[in-house]
Structure 1
Amino acid sequence: MKNTIKTLTLLLVGLVATSCSSDNNDDTMQDPSVSIQVVTDLAVSGSWTISSFIDSGTDETNDFNGYTFTFNSDGSLVADNGTTTVSGTWSVTSDDSSDDDDYDSNDDIDFNIMFSAPPEFAELSDDWDIVSRSASRIELIDISGGNGGTDTLTFEKN
């Protein structure tokens, strides 16, 4: 009798496990181009300031005080504080490379920023993972493959 109950229990558990289906509406199952377009549209929707930049535990937010960042639809990026203008590039791409898979974000996309100079702006150059986004905020993270340090960058919409 005990073997029959045990067998029936195992069959029931197996039946329940195989009858469950996954929900394909999960964000990770969506077409990445949809999220790429959503993030791109968000970035170009106005001007932004850096409310936080933490470089491997060091708060470097003050390096960008007074700068307004404009992400242009042509891929150009402009930071301006009224007297100094710094130019760079940006893009949002599919996160299909293995160089930055250390952070498991809900979005399978990268927010790429490239500045060649000055040095404090060059620090922003990376393929950032998106932690979260809203109509007024974009939070990014990068885990360095070299030293394992974690950088975070947050843009707030003006």
Structure 2
Amino acid sequence: MTRILIAFCILFALTACENEDNLSPQNSTESINASLTLPDGLIITEFVEEGRDKTAIFSPFTFLFNSDGSVVASKTGTSINGTYLVFRDDGRVELRMDFPESSELYELSDDWYFISQSGNTIRFEDSGDKLVFQQQ
């Protein structure tokens, strides 16, 4: 009986180690960044929050997502600096953006779930809210 218990423990330990060693590279931030390209010159073509269309507030801004995790949103006479991160959580690709609380872009500070990328359009959503970027 003791030998069976020891064999079971060894088998369990080997299986647990094997699962950790076989983590998919798709779970790394690097490969997600490669599969979700945020090109230069993105504008917001749709932003709906809590059922209200707020696109007009954000559409004048052009977004530049830099490789160092910074994002700069510019419109005539104004530039707002923020940060972003593309990552995988619970099997879904997300875009996290953070802008200063005092800025007019603060409402975009959230974790946005990636929905699709088609041509020059990238779609995100979060709890019914919609965010759509398009390259100029």
Among candidates 90, 95, 99, match of residue 115 of structure 1: 99
The Cα offsets for residues 31-83 of structure 1, whole Å up to 9 and x where unpaired, read as 233334221xx11x321000000001000001113210110111111110120
Specify the alignment match of 2:63 in structure 1: 69
Provide the identity percentage.
34
TM-score, L = length of structure 1: 0.64
Structure 2, unaligned runs of 5 or more: 1-23
- Asked if 1:35 corresponds to 2:27, the answer is no
Across the two proteins, how many residue pairs are aligned to each other?
Answer: 111
CA gap 1:62/1:93 in 2 versus in 1, 3 angstroms: same
Which of the two has greater strand per residue? 2
TM-score, L = length of structure 2: 0.73
Superposition deviation, residue 84 in structure 1:
0.6
CA gap 1:30/1:38 in 2 versus in 1, 3 angstroms: same
Structure 1, unaligned runs of 5 or more: 1-28, 97-106, 144-149
Larger radius of gyration between Structure 1 and Structure 2:
1
- Asked if 1:152 corresponds to 2:130, the answer is yes
Q: Matched residues in 2 for 1:36 and 1:66: separation? A: 26
Contact 1:53 1:60 in 2 (8 A): yes
Specify the alignment match of 2:123 in structure 1: 139
Superposition deviation, residue 156 in structure 1:
0.2
Among candidates 95, 101, 112, match of residue 128 of structure 1: 112
Contact 1:32 1:109 in 2 (8 A): no
